[in-house]
Chains A and B, each alone.
Chain A
Amino acid sequence: MQSKDAIPVLELKGVSKSFGAVVALRNADLTLHAGSIHAVVGENGAGKSTLVKIMAGLYQRDTGTFEMDGHPVSFRTTAEAKAAGVAVIYQEPTLFPDLSVTENVFMGRQPTGRFGRIDKAAMRAEVVELMTRLGVRIDPDRITQGLSIADQQIIEIAKAISLDARVLIMDEPTAALSGVEVDRLFAVARSLRDEGRALMFISHRFDEVFALCDTVTVMRDGTYIDTVPTAETNVPAMVRMMVGRDVNELFPKIDVPIGEAVLEVSGLTSPGLFADISFNVRAGEIVALAGLVGAGRSEVARAVFGVDGYTEGHVRLNGVALPKGKPAAAMKAGIGFVPEDRRQQGLVLEAAIATNITDAIRDRLVSNAVITRKAENAAAQEWARALEVKAASLDTQAGTLSGGNQQKVVLAKWLATRPKLLIIDEPTRGIDVGTKSEVHRRMSELAGEGLAILMISSELPEVLGMADRVLVMHEGRLTAELSRAEATPESVMFAATHSPEEVPA
């Protein structure tokens, strides 16, 4: 296994990275030894993905040292990182769907024979050998279109091994995997470790960290906190390190009288995504939908709002049934939806702030069958001020704003519709601490004004601090409904990692 005196395969010391005014990574230290599986945990915005991208050659670090085998390195391109033996397995594998598994593994470096002719037999044999070594059976001749994420990840791993990667970084690899697939992945990871490679495992899931990894590094707000062997720590200690002082800064939810049910969801089902989801959200209430990444929460939210369809079940707003698959109808009924992917789904980055803010209320700005820029600007002015968006003018492109301000613009857009129900998916992801508390405060105020809020969050402190009720999902099913008093890190985590039958009612 690892020898503490051995030269680490990869070492980052004091690495920082900023993008303009946003400090993404601050003084990060990371040491990866051969024959070790090293976990990196932290909330969203902790700086994990920036760290990975620096190691992968996508970003250049601003400060600090980066050494491999004791020699300083600096990757300017992903190709250089790959050549040095660093391989990254992303949550969303990028394969070539029309090409076979074998071709995907070897694209660009197929073994050749005479006349440069690709040696198909050798290629195929090596892929079969790789698969056997990994202990998996995937048909090397089939196209990768339609393969499960789990299988696609294995192919990425096979690629990394065939490139003789010495460092394998896995970014949230288990997010979309079933229990059995996770076991398979872990077996593969262990065998790679035993071969003397260094593995880095980014994850939200504590049980997996403790099951698989020998060391864990905790990050928070872009800063390195600590590195400990997993044998010498436990979940509460890790949570404390991850959350730190932020717990005090969260605005606890103000107690308000809770009214009638605004949203009623019953028996909602979409095969492969979620099944038999029933819950309601009442006026003045903040209901959190908690669970691990991949549990199906965003899918449920999108189905309620109408962006996606569903096969069974009903959605009712204030007693009136909503047609499925029609966001416009949901908007008209009074639902606002702040999506998970702010940049791709929530905003139009190249458009002005004014345009973005008024994207959902145009029908109200029409006068005499005409909509003018002037009317849009007036409305945008009002709402940008209300949310204290920091921007130079209403004309400023939304893409140039910081993450926090972008989120404010999205919020402004939906609050301008004066909704009765607000669905927010990951309200504070990728936002600095200051804006985070602003957003929380705003949400509390809105609840106080009678708005019903459905909040999806992967951050435990946020869930525990803000919610009146916590609904927990696991692999597409609702496993628990916890009141504010019943919701603890342990009870939520348990429900998030076990199936409905295993969770006590």
Chain B
Amino acid sequence: MSAVAVQTYPDYGQPLWKRIFLTREMAIIALLALTLLVASIAVPHFADRLTAYNLFRDMFATLIIALPMALVMITGDIDISVGSMVGLSCSMLGLLYASGVPFELAMVIVLLIGAAGGLLNGLLVTRIGLPALAVTIGTMALFRGIAVGLLGTSTITKFPQAWTDLTKYEIGQTGIPFIMVFFVLLLGAFVYLLHFTRFGRSVYAIGLNSEAAAFSGVNRERTRTILFVLAGTLSAMGGIYWTLLRGTARGDVGDGLELQVIAAVVLGGVSVFGGLGALHGVVAGVLLIGALSSALRLVGVTAEVIKIITGVLLIGSVVAGSLIAWIQDRRTKPAPAATGG
């Protein structure tokens, strides 16, 4: 051992406030706060209890699906079949219940179908080695196709009151629907998973450098497959929710949901190239889109404009991300690959 005094390393290169506030997530949270502020002042009725209530109810499915989607995208994959799985679960729930299956059992079956769909995605990506985009384009069509095929143009509108009412309850007079409790629990579970477990660390590892992750003993196939299964299961949950919310089962539910989820996730700081991102940013991203939609609707703007704005937000945040990365690259040039003689 050397007798020289050994250096002690500071844990972090930057002070705490910088580490917390100079992040993409904080930027989005700030933007969200700003939007809420401006809208409360400028838009009549925005600050009403009812607005908040509707906002949460409208965004619930997006909120819960954004959680696993963020993890999928951090590993560098993507899943654009989530909207179609929502539709399929909605369809299946209606059909199962209408054919006499007890509602609780039907829900469980639908969740299993979601998991199975996610498993299909995961296996095709990890075992067969196909790109996630291609696979989920196919399953997006397949799931939606089955949903529409089974139901056709018919809808099922009879569901147990006790369950549909669940989506209506409010917590006291806060304007927060009761179902948000459920979301908070899920959020807690995902925060734990991503930020406080080995599994979560390996998600980041795969996204940053898949090969090095393999050399460190990470089971990449299993991890990625699990994430797809989670995405499928939570999409199914979203589908169940929509059915209960509207009291109707239709085949076209969830159309375009994948855009909203991906836009929110990217807006929330998750890099399209993988390896970066955190859940608080993602939640802020979803709420930002929701708040904008609410505000615009109150002003009288149609739903289509909201679609445009979501699209613009997605493009804008990706381009901004690229720009930031480019600036950072210019400033901190790491040691080049000039190793070896």
Contact = CB atoms under 8 A, between A and B. Distances in A.
- Contact, chains A and B (beta carbon distance below 8 A): yes
A46 B219 CA distance: 37
A399 interface: yes
A50 interface: yes
A410 to B, nearest CB: 10
B208 A19 contact: no
Given A49-B341, A350-B208, A19 B335 contact: yes
Contacts, number: 136
Nearest to A389: B9
A395 interface: yes
Interface of A: 19-20, 22, 24, 42-50, 53, 59, 219, 307, 327-328, 330-331, 337, 339, 342-351, 354-355, 359-360, 362-363, 366, 369-372, 377, 380-381, 384-385, 388, 391-397, 399-403, 413, 429-430
B275 A350 contact: yes
Nearest to B4: A388
Interface in B278-334: 332-334
A141 to B, nearest CB: 28
Q: How large is the interface on B (under 10, 10 to 19, 20 to 34, 35 or more residues)?
A: 35 or more
B324 to A, nearest CB: 14
Contacts of B11: 354, 377, 381, 393-395
Interface in B1-19: 2, 6-14
Nearest to A358: B201
Contacts of B208: 348, 350-351
Given A327-B215, A359-B205, A395-B13, A22 B198 contact: no
B339 A430 contact: yes
Given A24-B338, A53-B338, A381-B8, 7 more contacts: A49-B341, A330-B217, A348-B208, A348-B209, A385-B8, A400-B332, A430-B341
B341 A371 contact: no
A339 B338 contact: no
B172 interface: no
Contacts of A354: 11
20 contacts: A19-B335, A43-B341, A44-B340, A45-B340, A45-B341, A219-B341, A327-B216, A343-B337, A345-B215, A347-B212, A349-B209, A355-B201, A366-B197, A371-B201, A377-B11, A381-B11, A392-B10, A395-B11, A396-B13, A430-B341
A196 B305 CA distance: 69
Contacts of A402: 335
A50 B338 contact: yes
Contacts of B337: 343
A363 B6 contact: no
A362 B8 CA distance: 22
B9 A391 contact: yes
A125 B335 CA distance: 45
A385 B6 CA distance: 6
B212 A366 contact: no
Given A346-B215, A348-B208, A401-B335, A381 B9 contact: yes
Nearest to A360: B216
B223 to A, nearest CB: 12
A402 B201 CA distance: 25
B18 to A, nearest CB: 11
Contacts of A47: 341
Contacts of B14: 395
B165 interface: no
Given A395-B12, A400-B334, A363 B341 contact: no
B204 to A, nearest CB: 8
Nearest to A385: B6
B196 A370 contact: yes
A402 B338 CA distance: 11
Nearest to A386: B6
B100 interface: no
